[in-house]
Amino acid sequence: MKPMGSKSRTARPMAKRKTRPAKPVRPPAAKKQIEPLDDRRQVVINEAARLFGSKGYEGTSMRDIAAAVKILPGSLYHHFPSKEDLFVAVYAFAVSQSLDAVTAAIANRTDPWARLEAACIAHTQGLLDTNSYAAVLISHLSVSNLPNQVVALRDSYESVFKELIAELPLPPGIDRRIFRLGLLGSMSWTITWYRPGGETPATIVRKLLSIIRRE
C-alpha cells in the first residue's frame, strides 16, 4: 500500500547531456631556440675578423658581414652602431689573442735573440693561421684614420717587440725603431705571398732574422 497523502509520481528518465567531441590534444609547440646575445655578438666578431683579415677594412662592408652571419643589416647595427665600432671590437680580440701567443712563446727563454725569434714565430704563425684574428692587425685603416682605441691597442702590442729589440746586443748606430718597423713589416708581408705546403712560418722567421742578425 502507498502511504496516505502521497501522490503517485512517475519516474522520468534522466536527460542525457550532450557531449562534445574531445578536442585533439596538440603537442606543445617547440620553443624557438634563441641564440644568446653574447653568442650572436661573438659570431659577428668572428665573421668580421675573417672578412677584415681577407678583404681589409675598406673592402669590407657591414652588408658583407651581415650576409656572412645571415642576419639583416639592421640587426647587425643593433649589436654594433657602426663599422668602426665593430672593427675596434675585432681588433681588441686580435691584439689579445696575439699577445697571449707571443707572451707564452717567450716565457721560458732568456737569450735576447731567442726571445725575439720565438716572438716573431708566434706572430707570423698567427698571421698565417686562418683561424686566428692576427691578420686583422695588418688590415686596418690608413694611419691617419685609425680610431684612437685601435692606435692604443696597436701600440700596446708593438711595445712588446720594442722591449725585445731593446734587449738585443746590436752594434752602435743601429736605429732600433727602424729595425722594429722593418721586421714587423717583413712579417706582415708574408700574408700576401705565403702558400701552405711550402716553408713553415718558423723557417721563414729564422731565415729573415739570419739576414738582419749581426753577431
Provide the total of helices (H) and of strands (E) in the chain, helices listed first: 8, 0
So what's the pLDDT on residue 138? 81
So what's the pLDDT on residue 2? 47
**What's the mean pLDDT in 89-114?**
94
Q: Which residues contact 116 (CB under 8 A, 6 or more apart)?
A: 161, 164, 165, 168, 209
So what's the pLDDT on residue 54? 83
Q: How far is CA 168 from CA 13, 103, 162, 175, in A?
A: 111, 17, 10, 12
pLDDT confidence bin for 86, thresholds 50/70/90: very high
Domains and CATH numbers, the chain: 37-212 (1.10.357.10)
| Bigger pLDDT: 203 vs 172 | 203
- CB-count exposure of residue 133 (10 Å: 0-12, 13-18, 19+): buried
Residue 24 has pLDDT above 80, yes or no: no
Cα distance between residue 90 and residue 86, in whole Å: 6
Q: What distance, in Å, lies between the first and last C-alpha atoms of the chain?
A: 137
- How high does pLDDT run on average in the chain? 81
Cα distance between residue 47 and residue 65, in whole Å: 7
Cα distance between residue 15 and residue 141, in whole Å: 87
